[in-house]
């Protein structure tokens, strides 16, 4: 993906600001509304994977379902652009651009956090997860890298929970997820024992992960 590429004739990519196993995140500009945004793309070589596509759509659906919560990244758009040369094309989501640091950087650069600051940040994450759980959503990958602290603008000090790509979504009281029983997915330092065993994870699993994060914030390790 080249810089200055314009998706759907609207979103001009400026610079890559993140990457993972499934895709890339770019700083971009919405040329219609003249505002900065973040664009998340599926890597071209992963578009052919039904599981990756399902996770990407799931993340967009979950983010949209939780719209309006102060600790939720706002989803603006979801789309797909065909490749004129016949390639796999581009699948993307457009979100608000959050200016801040993930908790991984906060701990690395600031060291152990004072009790009050750690409690404030974790309480915000807990409120966000509580809203998700009440909506039938279990995150399953709560870790410092998925908790972003906003450091500029009117929302400075707000914590945003990111990346619902492997979330479990419950419909009509029945858990629906993309991974299979016995498949371990998540970040080893923070996932609960039942997730390590490949079993189903409920809301308590997210809270276990949040407790592990609080431990790291207070001890620095």
90-96, strands of its sheet edge to edge: 6-7, 11-19, 23-30, 35-42, 90-96, 75-81
CA distances from 137 to 77, 162, 172 (A): 21, 13, 12
Give the pLDDT band (50/70/90) at residue 62: confident
Is 70 exceeded by the pLDDT of residue 149?
Answer: yes
| Whether the predicted pLDDT of 174 surpasses 80 | no
Token digits of residue 112: 């152990």
Is 30 among the catalytic positions? no
Q: pLDDT tens for residues 70-102?
A: 888 889 999 888 777 766 678 899 999 988 999
> What does the alpha-carbon distance between residue 202 and residue 175 come to, in Å, rounded to a whole number?
9
Distance between CA 7 and CA 11 in Å, rounded? 5
Average pLDDT over residues 133-155: 87
Here the tokens at position 166 are 């492997």
Q: Which of 18-22, 66-70, 90-94, 215-219 has the lowest mean pLDDT?
A: 18-22
Spelled out in words, what is the top-level CATH class assigned to the domain 100-219? mainly alpha
Which regions of the chain carry the CATH code 3.30.200.20?
Answer: 6-96
At 50, is the secondary structure helix, strand, or coil? helix
| Contacts of 143 by beta carbon, 8 Å cutoff, 6+ apart | 186, 187, 189, 190, 209, 213
Enumerate the CATH 1.10.510.10 domain ranges in the chain, comma separated.
100-219
Give the pLDDT score at 110.
Answer: 92
pLDDT above 60 (res 139)? yes
Q: Give me the pLDDT at residue 178, please.
A: 45
Whole-angstrom Cα distance, residue 165 to residue 125? 17
| Mean pLDDT value across residues 150-174 | 74
Active-site annotation holder among 83, 141, 163, 206 = 141
Residue pair 138/66 in contact (Cβ under 8 Å)? The answer is: no
The CATH fold assigned to 6-96 is Phosphorylase Kinase; domain 1 (3.30.200)
Nearest to 79 by CA among 9, 152, 155, 167: 9
Phi, psi (deg, nearest 5) at residue 40: -105, 125
Per-residue DSSP letter, 33: T
Q: What is the pTM of this model?
A: 0.81
Helix, strand and coil percent figures for the chain, each rounded to 5: 30, 30, 40
């Amino acid at each position: 993906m080249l810089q200055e590429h314009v998706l759907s004739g609207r979103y001009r990519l400026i610079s890559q600001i993140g990457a993972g196993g499934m895709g890339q995140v770019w700083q971009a500009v919405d040329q219609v509304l003249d505002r900065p945004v973040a664009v998340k793309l599926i890597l071209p070589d992963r578009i052919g994977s039904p599981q990756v596509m399902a996770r990407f759509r799931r993340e967009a659906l979950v983010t949209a379902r939780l719209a309006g919560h102060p600790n939720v990244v706002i989803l603006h758009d979801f789309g797909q652009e065909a490749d004129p040369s016949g390639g796999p094309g581009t699948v993307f989501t457009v979100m608000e651009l959050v200016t801040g640091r993930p908790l991984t950087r906060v701990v690395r650069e600031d060291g152990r956090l004072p009790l009050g600051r750690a409690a404030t940040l974790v309480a915000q994450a807990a409120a966000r997860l509580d809203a998700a759980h009440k909506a039938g959503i279990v995150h399953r990958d709560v870790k410092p890298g998925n908790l972003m602290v906003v450091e500029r603008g009117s929302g400075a000090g707000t914590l945003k929970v990111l990346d619902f790509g492997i979330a479990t979504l419950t419909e009509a009281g029945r858990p629906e997820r993309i991974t299979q029983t016995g498949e371990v997915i998540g970040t080893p330092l923070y996932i609960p024992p039942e997730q390590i065993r490949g079993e189903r994870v409920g809301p308590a699993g997210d809270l276990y992960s949040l407790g592990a994060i609080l431990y790291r914030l207070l001890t620095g390790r």
